[in-house]
């Protein structure tokens, strides 16, 4: 069988929201989109987003389309089962029929969980894993305010189980948003550390999607384009929050990366980073960012050609280099990018080495149990994950 016949004989699936609105000023589309699903919208957000004025803009757009909005702004940086429970009670009391999740990955993740629980008799912990949600969630409209998580176009949500200090990965077609509204005008007011960590989170999504054992032609194409966009424009976007061209392209890269990893899954970086967030309350983007170069270094020997492609997409001159040499140059460029946008080190995040390494074996177990490391081209052992955790302090 030829290489062409082999590829042509395989079948692939690709999932995405029913509609994606993208561009400057498209927040106003929340009015007509919410009106498609009901008359009372439950806006899931946080206080910072509300204070920035974006909630008021969304509420006004919905009002103009005959939709009444109820605002729940209690989402924290790492959404937990407790916050989701509070949101669910408020949703039911208000008798809402559509969820509008407005904010970074945390409000969107919380909004998905609330929407799922609103139609299912279950606890959020019952949803942990793949396809554990029995019935379709309430309609979800996702509006990101950071260029990073891609949650607006994925069938994933991550919620912390406070009783076990575990970040639960929940995967279901039922929590794919019906509509995504991606407006780059919502990002310029974000703090520098949010801009940098969320964008490197998006770069991680793109890289892991490309190297994943579940990658397919559609996701590979999207992943490489996301890597190209984020690598080319992140420094500008971070240095000048008013550079709308750069912000536009980084946000486009984040959304494209979201579509890629939603269909090919993430890999080892995410498996290792979730336990860091659960145990030490480090924002997800930052824990991904500090791990990314180390995990790439561990993984590249198993797929040097793919890592060489990543280097090419980042604009690295790989002419005359072997795939492995090009791969290493790409890893160096990732490290340089992280340094240029001031991604903090483990010490900068105030992680204490003794306590961190005491918990490392359990974190490694939790990471492996999530399934994400199994998608890595080089599958790690528990001991190898612990060793990489240790390198964070070198």
Contact 67, 32 (CB under 8 A): no
Total domain count for the chain? 2
Written in H, E and C, the secondary structure of 77-139 is CCCEHHHHHHHHHHHHHHCCCEEEEEECHHHHHHHHHHHHHCCCCCCHHHHCEECCCCCCCCC
What pLDDT, on a 0 to 100 scale, did the predictor assign at position 208?
98
Query: Is the domain of 123 the same as that of 252?
Result: no
Q: What is the pLDDT of residue 9?
A: 58
Shared domain check, 180 and 239: no
Contact (CB, 8 A) for 42 and 99: yes
Biggest CA-to-CA distance, the chain: 65
**End residue of a domain, out of 186, 205, 233:** 186
- Among 159, 186, 213, identify where a domain stops: 186
- Give the whole-angstrom CA distance, residue 56 versus residue 45: 12
Tracing tokens 């995990």 back to the chain, one arrives at 295
Please provide the size of the chain in residues: 394
Same domain, 127 and 204: no
**Is 11 part of any domain?**
no
What pLDDT score does 148 carry?
Answer: 81
Q: Assess contact for 262 and 356: CB atoms under 8 A.
A: no
pLDDT of the residue at 191? 57
The pLDDT assigned to 78 comes to 83
Q: Are residues 90 and 160 in the same domain?
A: yes
Q: Which domain holds residue 248?
A: 192-391
pLDDT of residue 2: 47
The pLDDT, as a whole number, for residue 1 is: 41
Give the whole-angstrom CA distance, residue 318 versus residue 325: 8
Asked if residue 179 and residue 146 are part of one domain, the reply reads yes
| Angstrom distance (rounded) from CA 119 to CA 333 | 46
Tell me the mean pLDDT per 10 residues along the chain, length 394. 53 93 97 97 96 96 98 92 97 97 94 98 94 97 91 94 88 97 82 78 96 96 98 92 90 96 95 92 88 97 98 97 98 95 89 96 94 96 98 93
Instruction: State the DSSP H helix or E strand holding residue 71, giving kind and residue range, or none if neither.
Output: strand 68-72
**Distance in angstroms (rounded) separating the CA atoms of residues 165 and 276:** 10
């Amino acid at each position: 069988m030829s290489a062409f016949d082999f590829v042509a004989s395989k079948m692939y699936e690709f999932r995405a929201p029913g509609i994606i609105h993208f561009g400057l000023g498209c927040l106003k589309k929340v009015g007509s989109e919410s009106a498609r699903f009901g008359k009372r919208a439950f806006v899931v957000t946080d206080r910072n987003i509300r204070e920035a004025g974006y909630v008021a803009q969304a509420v006004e757009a919905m009002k103009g389309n005959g939709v009444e909005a109820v605002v729940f702004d209690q989402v924290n940086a790492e959404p937990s089962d407790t916050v989701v429970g509070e949101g669910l009670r408020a949703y039911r009391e208000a008798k809402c029929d559509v969820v509008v999740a407005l904010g970074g990955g945390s409000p969107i993740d919380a909004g998905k969980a609330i929407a799922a629980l609103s139609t299912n008799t279950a606890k959020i912990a019952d949803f942990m894993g793949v396809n554990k949600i029995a019935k379709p969630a309430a309609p979800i409209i996702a509006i990101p305010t950071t260029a990073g998580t891609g949650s607006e176009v994925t069938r994933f949500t991550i919620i912390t189980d406070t009783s076990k200090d575990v970040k639960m990965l929940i995967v279901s077609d039922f929590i794919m948003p019906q509509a995504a509204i991606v407006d780059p005008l919502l990002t310029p007011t974000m703090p520098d550390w949010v801009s940098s960590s969320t964008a490197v989170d998006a770069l991680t999504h793109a890289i892991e999607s490309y190297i994943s054992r579940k990658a397919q032609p559609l996701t590979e194409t999207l992943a490489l384009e996301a890597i190209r966009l984020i690598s080319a424009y992140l420094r500008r976007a971070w240095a000048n929050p008013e550079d709308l061209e750069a912000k536009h392209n980084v946000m486009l890269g984040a959304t494209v990366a979201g579509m890629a990893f939603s269909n090919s899954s993430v890999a080892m970086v995410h498996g290792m980073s979730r336990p860091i967030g659960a145990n030490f309350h480090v924002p997800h983007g930052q824990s991904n960012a500090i791990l990314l170069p180390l995990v790439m270094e561990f993984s590249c020997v198993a797929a040097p050609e793919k890592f060489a492609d990543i280097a090419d997409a980042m604009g690295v001159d790989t002419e005359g280099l072997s795939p492995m040499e090009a791969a290493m140059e790409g890893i160096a460029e990732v490290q340089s990018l992280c340094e240029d946008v001031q991604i903090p080190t483990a010490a900068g995040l105030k992680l204490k080495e003794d306590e961190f390494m005491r918990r490392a074996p359990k974190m490694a177990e939790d990471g492996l149990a999530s399934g994400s490391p199994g998608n890595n081209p080089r599958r790690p052992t528990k001991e190898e994950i612990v060793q990489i955790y240790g390198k964070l302090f070198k």
